Amino acid sequence: MRFEVLGSLRVVRGETELDLGFPQQRALLGLLLVHTGRPMRMSEIVDVLWCGQPPASARNVVRRYVGALRRLLEPGLPPRAPGRRVLGRTGGYLLEADTDEVDLLCFRDLARQGMRAAATGRPEEAVRHFADALALWGGPVATGIPAATRAHPHFAAVERDIVRTAQTAADVALLCGRSEQVLPALRRAAELEPLDEPLHARLVMSLAACGLQAEALTVFEHVRRDLAAQLGVAPGPELGAAHARVLRQEVRAAGHVTAWNMPSARPKSPEPFIRPAQLPPDLAVFTGRSTELDTLSALADTAAATGHRPATVLISGMAGIGKTTLAVHWAHRAADRFPDGQLHVELGGFDPRRAALEPVEALRHLLTALGVPAQRMPEGADALAGLYQGLVAGRRLLLLLDGAADIEQLRPLLPVSPGSLTVVTSRNGLPGLLAAGARPLRLNLPTTADARAVLARRIGSGRMAAEPEAAEEIVARCGRLPLALAVVAARATSRRDFPLAALAAELRASHGSLDAFSSAKGAADARAAFHCSYRTLSAQGARLFRLLPRHTGPFVTAGTAAALADLPLCEARTLLGELAEAHLVTEAAPGHYAPHELLRAFAAELTE
């Protein structure tokens, strides 16, 4: 049996092409094929086949199509028997087939081999794999099903993967002078994406590398006219640079060229697989957060179970609430789920001691951990990202990205192929990351019992038991915030001759100030931590935050904020949303916001 979806939808048994039936039945088969081996929920199937407007009988119609496909693919199958091809799963169906039976699975396997060969310094071998993969592509995916269905993201995603593979193949072919092997597929990809500038830049370069300078310049001129006519813009820097290099006949000296172009720099054999183990040390005194740990495991399991896309979990929360500590502790517990290793990058989006890490530097850090020597790293963010994606493709890695400032800092670092899990921590809610499918875990303050256990673990349960009232007051004065508890516990540990009552008295005396929660060396400093979140606010958002201490009630509403800041109600509501996004206030109930008491003290200090 041979299933084809990379072009016309076809199924061939032996030498006979099968009649796939009604258009919607064909569409169902195409949908199951692009997710071969992975279940599709009935609700997803119905949504795709009827473009979001299904009739009341839709589910019954799908079941009839499934029965017809089973009989078509397995002649002689007894009535109502599930067979071994189209299998029922809880709430849906999946198509079962081997890799060599489905052109899409063959394509992905060859593309992964090409990525690995390129990443380990074997560009000629990589080009062969890429060319073989792209040769399986015969045109628009799933041709022959209804056009409205074919336009659905499930099919568009496959075409995006093909275009990305063609781009990568073009880069590698330029490195080793084999552009003619991928040029036909690159031309087809450009026809599919007529306004994709990075793709056309590679087509222009590849044509020139094959001695077709006139055609390269003609392609550039067509794209330039189309961009002007349809979008009203001129070609961007990448396409413009490709055009200039062709005019100067500098194709082989272009930015795509790396150490692979120099024979002396090419490795004689593949480099050994590097299994990174970069997790920071687990916190020895970690305690509590059992619910959050279970939730994190469940989110990771759910994300991994989807199988057809990369898995990402976002842990967000206010400064000092323990996002990194939780992520690192869970990562150590879950490390054995990821046999290919663990990667870690401190992005520094909210680090008071340094600027946030640029994506290019983060990519270099990750590539170094994956065993790429500095002299083999290409120039430019796109080339670095391509090398990185090739190295992680097909591997089961745990990637911890700590302290992300925004989605743009993260985008090049997120694996694009399934198998790995990325855990991101951030003080921001990162709606762009959630829109891309990340699973959210919003971290709240620990329970009083957990906060008490945190303090006991740090200063000793005996000392806590000797002065229970003082211990309770310390927990309360810290507002259960883990960072504040850590600062006070460090002081208590360094002065074991001090009674806890004395420390509680200090906190009582400094009520309304952050002096008791600040470190001289800044290693654990609540004020510095809060300031990093504060500096990300807009001017109006920062002003509203400074005004919050003037309101003495337990909650701030949009009406309260409008009165405090003398703003229209709609603008006040927007600014409260900004403060909540930065976790400088918490939405305790719909439309009712409250800052943590230490954040209220910080706002008061800013006003003074």
Strand residues in 52-184 grouped as ranges (E): 86-89, 92-95
Contact 150, 28 (CB under 8 A): no
Class of domain 290-442: alpha beta
Helix axis angle for 597-607 and 539-547, nearest 10°, is 110
Among 273-277, 472-476, 492-496, name the most confident range: 472-476
- In this prediction, residue 515 carries a pLDDT of 62
Per-residue pLDDT tens for 175-193?
Answer: 888 888 989 988 988 888 8
Domain residue extents for the chain: 1-167, 194-257, 290-442, 448-517, 537-607
Phi-psi region of 494 (alpha: psi -120 to 50; beta: other; left: phi over 0): alpha
CATH no. of 537-607: 1.10.10.10
- CA atoms of 335 and 332, how far apart (whole Å): 5
**What is the arithmetic mean of pLDDT over 304-309?**
54
Is CATH 1.10.1740.10 the classification given to domain 1-167? Answer: no
Tell me phi and psi for residue 85, to 5 degrees.
-105, -65
What does the CA dihedral 427, 429, 433, 435 come to, rounded to 10 degrees? 180
**What is the arithmetic mean of pLDDT over 436-445?**
85
Strand residues in 200-299 grouped as ranges (E): none
Residue 236's SS3 state is: coil
Residue 424's SS3 state is: strand
- In this prediction, residue 424 carries a pLDDT of 93
Distance, CA of 93 to chain centre: 27
Q: In what order do the strands lie in the sheet with 40-41?
A: 40-41, 92-95, 86-89
- CA atoms of 377 and 369, how far apart (whole Å): 12
- CA atoms of 549 and 326, how far apart (whole Å): 31
- CA atoms of 442 and 578, how far apart (whole Å): 16
Q: At 519, is the pLDDT very low, low, confident or very high (cuts 50, 70, 90)?
A: low
Q: Which of these, 516, 513, 524, lies nearest to 603 by C-alpha position?
A: 513
- In this prediction, residue 309 carries a pLDDT of 58
Is 537-607 the same fold as 1-167?
Answer: yes
**What is the arithmetic mean of pLDDT over 468-479?**
83
**What is the arithmetic mean of pLDDT over 157-162?**
85
Pairs from 214-222 (Cβ < 8 Å, separation ≥ 24) = 216/246, 217/243, 217/246, 217/247, 219/190, 220/246
What is the C-alpha radius of gyration for the chain, rounded to an integer number of angstroms?
Answer: 29
Per-residue pLDDT tens for 89-129?
Answer: 767 888 888 888 889 999 988 988 888 887 777 888 889 99
The CA distances from residue 337 to 297, 327, 341, in Å, are 11, 15, 9
- CA atoms of 228 and 221, how far apart (whole Å): 11
Q: Where are the alpha helices (DSSP H) in 393-521?
A: 407-410, 431-435, 448-459, 461-466, 468-477, 482-494, 500-509
- In this prediction, residue 255 carries a pLDDT of 37
The CA distances from residue 181 to 213, 305, 435, in Å, are 17, 37, 38
Q: Which of the two residues, 527 and 178, has the higher pLDDT score? A: 178
**What is the arithmetic mean of pLDDT over 117-144?**
86
* Amino acid, res. 9: L
Q: Which of the two residues, 310 and 314, has the higher pLDDT score? A: 314
Cβ-Cβ contacts under 8 Å for 129 (sequence gap 6 or more)? 110, 111, 113, 114, 117
Beta bridge partners of 40: 93
Q: In what order do the strands lie in the sheet with 10-13?
A: 2-4, 10-13, 16-17
Residue 210's SS3 state is: coil
Beta bridge partners of 94: 87
Q: Taking the complete model, does pTM exceed 0.85, yes or no?
A: no
Q: Mean pLDDT check: name the lowest of 14-18, 67-71, 306-310, 481-485.
A: 306-310
Residue 73's SS3 state is: helix
- In this prediction, residue 256 carries a pLDDT of 38
Q: Where are the alpha helices (DSSP H) in 317-430?
A: 323-334, 359-369, 381-392, 407-410
| Burial class of 289 by CB neighbour count within 10 A (0 to 12, 13 to 18, 19+) | buried
Cβ-Cβ contacts under 8 Å for 456 (sequence gap 6 or more)? 464, 471
* Amino acid, res. 521: K
Q: Which of these, 180, 204, 186, 164, lies nearest to 124 by C-alpha position?
A: 180
Q: Which of these, 343, 168, 371, 369, lies nearest to 267 by C-alpha position?
A: 371
Cβ neighbours, 10 Å, residue 552: 5
**What is the arithmetic mean of pLDDT over 234-257?**
70
The CA distances from residue 404 to 254, 329, 334, 386, 401, in Å, are 33, 18, 21, 21, 7
Say if residue 344's pLDDT is above 90.
Answer: yes
